[in-house]
Structure 1
Amino acid sequence: MSIVVRDVREHELDSVLALNNAAGPAILPLDAARLRHFFDTAEYFRVAERDGSLAGFLIGMGADSAHDSSNFRWFRERYPDFFYIDRIVVASRRRGGGVGRAFYADAQSYAEMRYPQLACEVFLEGGNDPALLFHGSFGFREVGQHVMEEAGVRAAMLMKPLCSYPWVRDTYGDALPEVEWLTRRRVPAARAAQAAAALAPRPTGTCP
């Protein structure tokens, strides 16, 4: 009955897509190309397993991402550095069983080593008190509201300060220790390709 949170695998993308598009109006729909873009570029893309089956997923990225969401841009116009939770989806049969809290604990353990704040939004159309209560109980507070230009939906913009970050930054700077729980995260395909190109031997006689 334990919940396992781990990096998404490429062969699971179809199942993730179906889970997203069955989530209802609180989550914007995706198509396969958009989900593939997240797989290739997202800094954090993890799934939860419970009893051997997919129970949900969470996608997130840092403030320096090229993400094109208007909600993401709203935060970036106002805050210099943060980790943005683009979407979290929990399968309907698993809601209320701790999967959401497991995701947020995992995402926070990742983010607080690298960012001073967590950011996300909750759609307000039609009433969404359970989601607002969940985020409030996890330490998020509303910092404004925004109507998404691409969907016409009003969202409460939420942020949570990550109190461990200043100590981590002052102690380690950008050189975090090479311990498994910090380094085992996925490297997006696009970033891996860039890293491989940077390490490839250069033809002799060329400038760096």
Structure 2
Amino acid sequence: MSIVVRDVREHELDSVLALNNAAGPAILPLDAARLRHFFDTAEYFRVAERDGALAGFLIGMGSHADHDSSNFRWFHERYPNFFYIDRIVVASRRRGGGVGRAFYADAQSYAELRYPQMACEVFLEGTNDPALLFHGSFGFHEVGQHVMEEAGVRAAMLMKPLCSFGWVRETYGDALPQVPWITRPRTSSGPAHARRPTGTAL
């Protein structure tokens, strides 16, 4: 069956929370209030479905966001404009099946119209070579390391240049075409963050 990536729905937040907190030490735990905050404010919050079941989720935001993560702050202090992947979680039974790549392709198609680069981190505690290799194969490279003050975990700080951004910016400036695959509005039951004018993130 194909993988479907779409905006999260409010009634799925409990399932997303369970996925996050079952992911193991590579992902920081969340509580319901924190997840609700992401739902209300995150620029990008999408889930993947496979065979009709929730297979994972990805949360991301631009460098203009008011986000209290020390990893986000590390990037913000060094780079003026980027799209930050706060977390990506794939259900254990779906790992290695292409869900992660589907998420990154979707997130990049969103980000490259608005930002010159993508940022994320990979925890270096334990054996996380598969995650580092995955990101390296997708074009990310390490730009530093950071010990998270809130968790005491060292992370590799990764960036990926988005080559299409310059052309998009030069061609369209602050006025991206108003077509569904670009604007991707949330449903009426969700927040309006995806309806933010596209020029504000550039």
Corresponding residue number in structure 2 for 1:94:
94
Assess, with a 3 A threshold, how the Cα gap between structure 1 residues 137 and 90 changes in structure 2: closer, same or farther: same
TM-score (norm 2): 0.93
The residue that corresponds to 1:189 in the other structure is 191
Q: Distance in 2 between matches of 1:29 and 1:4?
A: 25
Superposition deviation, residue 127 in structure 1: 2.0
Letter in 1 for 2:107: A
Q: Among the aligned pairs, what percent are the same residue? A: 88
1:185 is displaced (CA, Å) by: 3.9
Q: 1:140 to 1:191 in 2, by over 3 A?
A: closer
Pairs within 5 Å for 1:8-157: 8-157=8-157
Residue 178 of structure 2 is matched in structure 1 by 178
Aligned runs of 1:192-207 on 2, under 5 Å?
none
Where in structure 1 are there 5+ consecutive unaligned residues?
Answer: 196-208
- Give the Cα–Cα distance (whole angstroms) in 2 for the partners of residues 173 and 61 of structure 1: 20
Per-residue CA deviations over 1:161-184 (Å, capped at 9, x if unaligned) read: 000000000000110001111012
TM-superposed deviation, 1:191: 4.7
Show CA shifts across 1:115-138 (max 9, x none): 000000000001200000000000
Separation in 2, partners of 1:191, 1:163: 25
Amino acid at match of 1:162: L
Distance in 2 separating the partners of 1:157 and 1:180: 32
Aligned length: 195
User: Closer, same or farther in 2 for the Cα pair 1:190/1:16, shift >3 Å?
Assistant: same
Gapped regions of structure 2 (runs ≥ 5):
198-202
CA-based RMSD: 1.7
Q: 2:93 corresponds to which letter in structure 1?
A: R
**Structure 1 Cα separation of the partners of residues 81 and 177 of structure 2:** 21
The runs of at least 4 aligned residues of structure 1 exceeding 4 Å deviation read none
2:200 alignment counterpart: none
Using structure 1 for the length normalisation, give the TM-score.
Answer: 0.90
8 A contact 2:122–2:155 mirrored in 1: yes
